[in-house]
Structure 1
Amino acid sequence: MRSRIGLAVALAAAVALLAGTVPSSPENALQAGTRITIEQAWPDAERADLRDLTVEPVHFLDATTAVGTVTTGDRVKLLIEKDGISRELRDLPASGDPRFEGMTASGKQLVWAESVNGKPVEIWTVGTDGAKPRLLTADTGNTLFYGNQHDLVLADGRVHWTAGEGDATTQVRSVALTGGAVTVREEKGQWAMSAWPWLTDDTGGQAGKVRMRNLTTGDLVEVPFSGAEWGMCEPVWCRVSVMTGEGTARIDLMHPDGSQRRRVAGTETQAAVNDVAVLDRFEVLSIPGPNSDITGTAALLVHDLETGRDVPLAVAADLAATKDGMLWWSTGDQEIAVWHTLDLRTI
């Protein structure tokens, strides 16, 4: 999920987690308590600072391989770029408002949803080893994408996504990675894809309860929240924003059965991305400053559930995104933007 950090989806939580005081600025926040540097926390993690990236990234395959778009004249091109060398995947008219959504990868195969000129959404794939892109299907239905890492899910040799209209029934659609006919399974209610094989009715945080259904076993899990709580869930962890009349008092994480609940932040901190506990371990947080509404930037840090530590990444980051275990963010401005990557899979 990619989002502007200063306007992140989750509500508040706090930075005084370790220091016990509310910071006056993101700079102070990242120096508070016993936070350590990224080099100290994860010395073997693969990461990069990309100052000469020519594409607007929509995904990173690894710390130095970006997939993104570039507009040239009246065309929008989708490229894979590494070390200044790019390979063109798609070339579409800019006037058709082309969009590339749900991009995800498994092994050497990259998959995405593509739309242009108001045509039905298509599912495309390409091998990252130099093969040409292939259309898997245009039989996608009324796709339901929510901007999280599970809009397209690769599992059991197939691409899975949800589609439908209204909240009475959701279609769970899939197509083989080799192409062919689309299978359609209907589930009562409004659902979104989650980590395979789960669906969730939680697409943006909600009060009351969050439901999850296992597509393999049919099991239904209901996670209740109190009237003062706002929840988002994935199969392993739920993010719970505890609310007061003035906003969010803190952010907790817990398992869907309510166990191992722990506070990960207090007031003034936000979730920087939609995705809850990336790789079931890393909660990505941001700390807005007094001018964040104007600049769109905020401090960025990662809370490591395994160690309980907060690891600062940037004092003033702009965009942040996660997918397939990759985390990336930008600093600077549009003229001199620097993209930073951290492969959480290598920690």
Structure 2
Amino acid sequence: MTATRKISLGVALGAAVVLLAGGLPEQQPAAVPASQARPTLAQVWPDADRADLRDLGFEPLLFLDATTAVGTADAGGKTRLILKNRDLRTLPASSRFDNLTSSGDDLLWTETTEDGRTEIWALALPAGNPRKLTADTGNILLYGGQHDLVVADGRVHWAAADGDTTTEIRSVPLTGGAVRKRERPGQWALTAWPWLTSDVGGQAGEITLHDLETGAEKRITAGPAEWTMCTPAWCRVMVNNGQGLARVDVMRPDGSDRRRVAGPGTQAAVNDIAVLDRFEILSETRPDSDLTGTAGLVVHDIAAQRTVTLSAAADLAASRDGMLWWSTGDREATVWHTLDLRTV
């Protein structure tokens, strides 16, 4: 594949997902959002860590906890990476910061210049100085999910394209240094470590999961009317009935424990499948969605087999490292809402 594989093929649109930008076949509209009759976040998880934040002063790309955000702000031809009130890095506005994630005491991100060159950077939390881990990222593949950068065994791992028929799995120590490369035939993306997936954005047909450490593989066969994405723990199956999206199912990669979690008028609100191996984040079309650009936001708890309303009219949603956040309001009065799913 070429560098165009950097563009996400799923639902992601940068760090935050526009809830109505699904990238799926045309969906059947929901006459009345089902979220109106469901239990709310406050009713089901009253003790979870969460917050409603106004006037952040920047666009959040990651929440480390319910109130600690990292994000970007553009001004004067520059784009700034900000942790709370602290400027971490400044780049020309034609460059961008992406793929923020945290692991232990480390914050990591990518920096991409206008000509497409990408570097990986890190910072020791809470007050360390930014350090460049590597500029040797190859034709890095970024799909907008939490597994674009994976930290394991003291190293940062990512996938890179080597032509159209081979994928490199690259890694660099968290301390920086030489990049290690492993090649695998085919087109692959990282998922939960140490697994790879042959699905790079949802597809019909067969999907293969490959364990980099043991060589074990799992093969998932989806029906011709099913749009399927999988991790080693769960698959999301979006079933089309010929007129649009009929339902959303989840199942184990071996096909067991399959169940319906949502009906028509629904789509995935974030790229990541079964966040924390438990939560499916979904959006639901509202009667006025075409006018407002908003949608209902719900979370389906796979373990408890129930769906909980987060917002009747959300604008953007994103999830990373077990944190979920979404926005309501407008550009002049945006409110960011956070939920630490690790505390549910």
Query: Distance in 1 between the 2:211 and 2:289 partners?
Result: 40
Tell me what 1:5 maps to.
19
TM-score of the pair, normalised by structure 2: 0.92
The SS at the match of 1:62 is coil
Q: Which amino acid aligns with 1:31?
A: Q
Q: 1:61 to 1:274 in 2, by over 3 A?
A: same
Counterpart pick for 2:35 among 20, 30, 48: 30
Query: Distance in 2 between the 1:198 and 1:330 partners?
Result: 32
Q: Which moved more, 1:113-122 or 1:213-222?
A: 113-122
Give the conservation status (yes or no) of the 8 Å contact 2:30–2:264.
no
Q: Which amino acid aligns with 1:90?
A: R
Query: Distance in 1 between the 2:165 and 2:309 partners?
Result: 43
Indicate whether 1:88 and 2:91 are aligned.
no
Indicate whether 1:71 and 2:74 are aligned.
yes
What's the offset of the Cα at 1:11? 6.2
Tell me what 1:17 maps to.
none
The SS at the match of 1:264 is strand
Query: Distance in 1 between the 2:290 and 2:194 partners?
Result: 38
Deviations 1:108-137 (A, max 9, x none): 210111112426211000012211100000
Query: Distance in 1 between the 2:235 and 2:27 partners?
Result: 15
Query: Distance in 1 between the 2:290 and 2:177 partners?
Result: 47
Indicate whether 1:58 and 2:72 are aligned.
no
Tell me what 1:209 maps to.
206
Q: Which amino acid aligns with 1:24?
A: A
Q: Which amino acid aligns with 1:55?
A: F
Q: Which moved more, 1:312-321 or 1:119-128?
A: 119-128
Counterpart pick for 2:301 among 301, 304, 312: 304
Query: Distance in 2 between the 1:226 and 1:167 partners?
Result: 26
What's the offset of the Cα at 1:3? 1.0
The SS at the match of 2:277 is coil
The SS at the match of 1:313 is strand
What's the offset of the Cα at 1:203? 1.9
Count of residues in Structure 1 that have an aligned counterpart in Structure 2: 330
Deviations 1:33-64 (A, max 9, x none): xx212122112210000012111011111110
Query: Distance in 2 between the 1:11 and 1:45 partners?
Result: 35
Superposed, which structure 2 residues align to 1:85-164 within 5 Å? 86-94=85-93, 97-118=94-115, 120-164=117-161
Query: Distance in 2 between the 1:182 and 1:334 partners?
Result: 41
Tell me what 2:10 maps to.
none
Give the conservation status (yes or no) of the 8 Å contact 1:164–1:170.
yes
Tell me what 1:271 maps to.
268
Q: Which amino acid aligns with 2:32?
A: S
What's the offset of the Cα at 1:10? 5.7
Query: Distance in 2 between the 1:345 and 1:238 partners?
Result: 21
What's the offset of the Cα at 1:13? 8.4
Tell me what 2:48 maps to.
45
User: RMSD in angstroms over aligned alpha carbons?
Assistant: 1.6
The SS at the match of 2:342 is helix
What's the offset of the Cα at 1:228? 2.0
Q: Which amino acid aligns with 2:61?
A: V
Q: Which amino acid aligns with 1:217?
A: T
Counterpart pick for 1:282 among 275, 279, 284: 279
Give the conservation status (yes or no) of the 8 Å contact 1:239–1:252.
yes
Tell me what 1:19 maps to.
none
Deviations 1:288-318 (A, max 9, x none): 1233234221000000111111110111101
TM-score of the pair, normalised by structure 1: 0.91
Which runs of 5 or more structure 2 residues have no equivalent in the other structure? 1-14
What's the offset of the Cα at 1:165? 4.2
Q: 1:9 to 1:66 in 2, by over 3 A?
A: farther
Give the conservation status (yes or no) of the 8 Å contact 2:27–2:243.
no
Superposed, which structure 2 residues align to 1:162-177 within 5 Å? 162-177=159-174
Q: Which amino acid aligns with 2:193?
A: W
Which runs of 5 or more structure 1 residues have no equivalent in the other structure? 15-21
Query: Distance in 1 between the 2:71 and 2:255 partners?
Result: 39
What's the offset of the Cα at 1:166? 4.0
The SS at the match of 1:164 is strand
Give the conservation status (yes or no) of the 8 Å contact 1:299–1:316.
yes
Give the conservation status (yes or no) of the 8 Å contact 1:207–1:227.
yes
